[in-house]
Chain A
Amino acid sequence: MTTKPQAARAARFVLAGWTRPRPGHWVRPLAFMAPALIGFAVFFAYPLGALVYYSFTRYDLLNTPVWVGLRNYAFLVAQDPLARKAAYNTVWLVVVITVLRLIFATGVAAVLARIRNGAGLFRTLIYLPALAPPVAATLVFTFLFNPGTGPVNTVLSWFGIQGPLWFSDPAWAKPGLTLLTLWVSGELIIILLAGMLDVPGELYEAAGLDGAGSLRRFWHITLPSIAPVLVFGVINSIILGLQYFTQAVVAASVASGSADIAGSQRVIGYPDNSTLTFPVWLYQQGFHYYNMGYASAMSIVLFAVSTVFTLLFVHRLRRGAHAEGMA
């Protein structure tokens, strides 16, 4: 059973707070929030301010920052093709991962929702890869998709299919990363599944009486009912794509076959900078080249983009709150 009236009340609650201020009630919230407020000041507000300042300087962490005005931004816009490539890679991942992840997760969840026996087992099986640390999952994938000796191409060759070079081919590295991301999307699947199972049976029965087919039931009842969860999935996937780092760094390092430590500047972006995401290039500029001012300017750009999605998210959240369903 859903708790719609409660959700509506909760929604009102979210937005009601500031409309009816009660001056006497200031001290206790502050006491409850105190550690968090200090935390936000030290680990959020201060660094953000510092970031803005550094972005106008040349700073190598050894000598004092030198003011250079807008030079870092100018360089970023006009003179750094790798930053453009990195931005392209990140946008690619954001779009493809968000779309495929939602379709895939919804599809799998829809199948699982019909399971009568052994649902727990299936849920565990599907969730298992999501548990693996990203580093481990990436190693697993670079091994599976190793063009020379990996099982994937071996199996493909049984069917006469010449498998691609995957993480060694600039054209296939990002699709490889996408497959990896789908493989570990168990969490989203579980959440969607829970949402589907929670759609009240009466709704289906009502639709059933109207003679709705299986697919139509899914389209007209299941999907709208889990819309808030889907929105959560979209936002979640976009965040995931925007900060794509670990898998890209580890895949590049392993596939290059280099003896360098993962994340070392020699192997980042392999092959042909196709796995060079925006955060990876930012990291490289800041912590390998020690162009910390420039890395700060890149951070500001990443921050601006993620803020757009934050606002979208907040907007949805409030609209959802008004429309009585909480995302």
Chain B
Amino acid sequence: MAALTTSGTTTRGPRRRGVLRWIATHSIALAIGVMFVLPLVFVALTAFMSDRQALTADLWPRSWHPENFAEVFRTAPLLKYLGNSVMYSLLATAGMLVSSVPAAYALARMRWRGREVAFLVVIAAMMIPPQVLAVPLYVLWARLHLTGTLWPLILPYFLVDAFSIFLLRQFFLTIPQSYLDAARVDGCGDLRTLLRVLLPMTRPGIAAVSLFCFMYTWNDYFGPLLYAGENPDNWTLSLALASFRGAHQVQWNLTMAATVVVMLPVILLFVFAQKSFVRGITFTGVKG
């Protein structure tokens, strides 16, 4: 409160000024919040419009057409795409956990020659734009006759995912060494230290990394475009949505209804897991 005395007007009581400030900051925040959400509101409104009205500049539906959502599922096999997306994201996340947790542990909590080099490799792999290795990797998967499927995207997660290793390592580093030392005194080996001490203590971090991985794969467009683009049976929701308007010759109302359908699972996931999500991100920012 002391800082307020420097703001000039000193006649009013600090309490009253506090209220004014409360109103000011909260209304600014409200304006920002509305700005962020308004586009989504427009999208939702358009999803309920008739296709004639979607061609106009109207902002509010003249008549409501909830049947648009049923129409979207009739227009394109969205359930199949949904299944593909779920498979890709779940398998990739599972694979990531199996492969990245031990690697992150070795990088964060074990002492060995070459560790720093290994960590640099992780960073390099994490920073490399996915398009850089697209050509040789595509050739590789084409030789295995796996192009046209999502396997070229899923299988690598069972061996390595640089970003997750990096993030997990950061989480593991935040646990005070004293806990690990205590575990070692109790006679725990590395595996038991990892499983009994580190994992329980970094659960929010693990949850966050898993959610990131799930979201990344769910939202991924380049990967599925490259490998599954030729085979609509293996399309993911993101991939299908990108061509939805052009391929099905529909107006904005159906396009926006499809957009809502694609966004909904992620938003539900967020609502469901919001706590560990925000806690995980917070963890990254503060201590990671």
Contact = CB atoms under 8 A, between A and B. Distances in A.
Interface stretch (B9-17, B198-206, B242-250): B242-250
Interface residues of B, number: 111
Interface string A180-219: 0001001100111111001000001101110111100100
Centre residue among A43, A134, A326 by max chain B CB count within 10 A: A43
Interface string A82-119: 00000000000000000000000000100110111110
A33 B243 contact: no
Given A36-B160, A313-B123, A28 B110 contact: yes
Interface string B93-108: 0000011101101111
A259 B117 CA distance: 49
B174 interface: yes
B242 to A, nearest CB: 4
B263 A131 contact: yes
A51 B59 CA distance: 50
B238 A44 contact: no
B29 to A, nearest CB: 5
Contact of A198 (B119, B219, B286): B286
Interface residues of A, number: 127
Contact of B6 (A29, A212, A286): A212
Given A204-B3, A253-B246, A299-B135, 20 more contacts: A15-B116, A32-B103, A32-B110, A35-B158, A38-B160, A40-B125, A42-B159, A51-B136, A111-B32, A114-B29, A140-B43, A143-B256, A198-B285, A214-B7, A253-B243, A260-B246, A282-B134, A283-B226, A287-B226, A296-B136
16 contacts: A6-B176, A9-B176, A25-B111, A40-B121, A115-B29, A128-B267, A133-B266, A136-B241, A139-B241, A151-B42, A195-B285, A213-B3, A279-B131, A283-B226, A295-B135, A307-B127
Interface of A: 2-3, 6-7, 9-10, 13-18, 20-22, 25-26, 28-29, 32-33, 35-36, 38-40, 42-44, 46-48, 50-51, 54, 61, 108, 111-112, 114-118, 121-129, 131-136, 139-141, 143-144, 146, 148-151, 153-154, 183, 186-187, 190-195, 198, 204-205, 207-209, 211-214, 217, 229, 232, 239, 242-243, 245-246, 249-250, 253-254, 258-263, 279, 282-283, 286-287, 292, 295-296, 299, 302-303, 306-307, 309-310, 313-314, 317, 326
